[in-house]
Structure 1
Amino acid sequence: MTTAVTKLARSCEAVDQIHRIVAWVGDGKPVTPKGVLRPAELRRASEATGVPIPAKFRSAADVPRWHRLWSAAIATDLISLEMDAAKAGAPQEFIPETWLTAFTAALAANFDDEEGVAALHVGRAVLTALASGRVKTFEELAHRVWHDLRTDYHLDVGRLWSSMAYEESAAPQLTELLAEFGVTAGPWKLSELGKWALAEFVRRGDDLVAKEPYVAPGRVCQLKITLMDVSPACWRRVLVPSTTTLGELHWVLQAALRWDNDHLHGFTVGTRHYGDPAFDRSDEYETTVGEAFTRARQRISYTYDFGDNWRHDIQLERTLDIDEALTYPLCIAGKGPVPVEDSDHRTIPFDQADINRRLSSIPVEEDAPFDAVIEQIVVDAYGEEEQIGSFLTVLDDVLTFPAEASVLGHPVTVLELRYEDLLRGPFAVCQNSHGTGEITLTDVCFPPDTTAAWVHAAYRHFLGADPFPATARPDWHWPPD
């Protein structure tokens, strides 16, 4: 790395503007839930920093130059997002490595690519084309870049570049970005800094954006979960370890919002969708909460029941040290009633103690130790009919009738269990204030801290359904001594 590269990195227009923005942010400025300045605040920022903005705009994220600089400042830790405010970070010298982080973040913001990998590929293709010395117009640049990226559809770079190539303001935005970061030295010519950036793009590849989890292991995430589109407002504040997977977070959400896990669900993290891989989603158990959030992305979403479409906003409010005196996950606050699942306008009031009881009973891992339980129950059974009958025998033994239970969130009393044929399957005779009826055993939910709940969870797991919450009983065995 030459002295010229270092000098160019420190003196480029973008770095100067970033420093002015950071100085203006100071001890804190309010931001929207998406982590950007509100329009009125952005106008004040523009006046104070000299960074130009258009007369009319909908959101700060829609002002290309400002959004690039803001994203670069966050990526380099010069600005941090905490709760609903942006704060200036510790001062640091803009060495080429810091500049490269800022430039990579600006590319991602320019191409609206939250993950940053596809934008990185576009940036590499642009710099490669400029390094050839054969590009004199934006049309020639578009042709060369498209030729370079045509096999990268798995990263969706084609969509990014197509939108760039056919949008009227695309060429000015891209040339402005390259110039303000000192990548170009005159029209269509790379500077020494641009040549160094290209070499780093080629040498390091996707590792430039494939960083460690935003929230490191050993930390706790304070999450605010808001159920959208309901009145009165309904939210819960929970603490979870940063290593909690999205699959495990699903169970936290089920407990915190009193859902019954009777429907499909999914997470949206940036442009990615997580859930059950069988439904063409990325595996929710392969991504942690600490990995789902980034410096710029402080919110993700969760949808439960794609029919009723219960949407949840999940905001990372702050991170904390682990408190050995606490048991995680933990609900620490909340407000507003939650709708009763599959009911007409009935609600359940916020009950922090009940939520924490449920949280203490959820499966700790994706594959709770049900296999050993199932093996003990069905070991002597021949065929599916006898296997189902074996579960009924065990439940009959561990239950004392009448037994407390619930169905779709409604309390019932189980009077007895019956099993007449495999086609119909086992069912429970249940009673509530409206009368007595028969409910399929699969849909009956026993109190999580009971042995019946543990056996029933194994039964649902055996059938291929998600188990209802149950306190693990690793020492339980069948038949009893």
Structure 2
Amino acid sequence: MVPAVKSELVEQVRAFTEWVGAGRKLTQTGRITLADAKTLVPLLGTGDVLEQTIGSHVYRTRSSERLLNLMLVVECAKVVRLVRKTGQRLVPVKKNQTLLDDPQKLWLALFTGFDKLGEAFLHGGFSESLLRREFAHGSRAALASLYGADGAVPIASLCTTVRNVVSAPYILDDLTEFQSEMLRSTNDRDTKETLEVLRRLGAVTLQDESAELTELGRSGMRRLLGEPEAGDPIYQVKITLLEIEGLPVWRRVLVPAAIPLDRLHIVIQAAMGWENYHLHYFLDGKTYYGEAEPELQYRDEREVRLDDLVKPGGRLVYNYDFGDSWDHEILVEESTVATADGRYPRCIAGQAACPPEDVGGTGGYARLIQILGEPGHPEHQDIVGWLGLDDPGQFDPGRFSLEEANQRLAARR
């Protein structure tokens, strides 16, 4: 159950949607008109400055796009589908207006859609941060750090975590000292701004240079991660690596039936023993689901739950590493319910070791096992060195540790 909602942002979104009414005219570029912005800033209490006097000069805002707090409210209403843009008008989405009467559902919709809001309130242009570009990953990293802590987390620590996550896709070795400092300062600035918006949402408290999830924020994270409440449906899922010669490689895990596919991906990686180095997709027989990258043209896996696609007895295909192309069968064996003291996701059984990354697919793995078993093979020592082993006996294709599988699951929550 979601705790009582106390959220400045929820109230602003409700007031904005009511102001939209039957519809409002937009500018030619699809923005709120300045005349309407002058009404909305005091009405919603966003605190945006429309004009500022410096010395004898008066500087007036020329576009509502510059009013970041107001733009945040507008984008929030769009993300939860309370309003939509059609032509040069902003109109209500009638079927979703019931959210206005249910603050808990509205809050949860805003919280789960938060990772789509970065461009609405973070600065673009010359001072754009990597966090703004990688907002989904950076904001999730900050929330995960807060969720994994027993109490408050220093904001400086959160800034470091976010900076490491959003910079990972980029090669930054050749930056000058000035560029590195600019990168650090803009990311830290935007991390703090992100935490402030989460405070306005009611998801975190900020005090003494530290941040902590509220009870409402923790409830939202449980939903975001697909963690169940007692009595919620649980699926028993068998994950089988296909086309493996010899001893079958499989894991049996308990996961929330409502787990989003992006979280199921992490569960599969941890339970199997993969390192999450490569791309992946899910396939239900007709539709591909994966990361929301335009060039891949997959349906966004964050927006689809496991029980949206399969019921007990149903199957999915999970493919990992488009080069080695490891196909896994995801079979929902049965449905049960979560217990109050249960841990989910949890691995309950398995067999055989996960193949090494980049081994060359099923054929390459079969060849590796063959060469390891032949000390006189001319490539034997090369393979042992490639695996980073002192002794070929250290790699046992038949080994599986239930304890280690659950340790990996716990580490990747």
TM-score by length of 2: 0.42
Max radius of gyration: which structure? 1
Q: Which has the higher contact order (CA 8 A, sep 6+)?
A: 2
TM-score by length of 1: 0.36
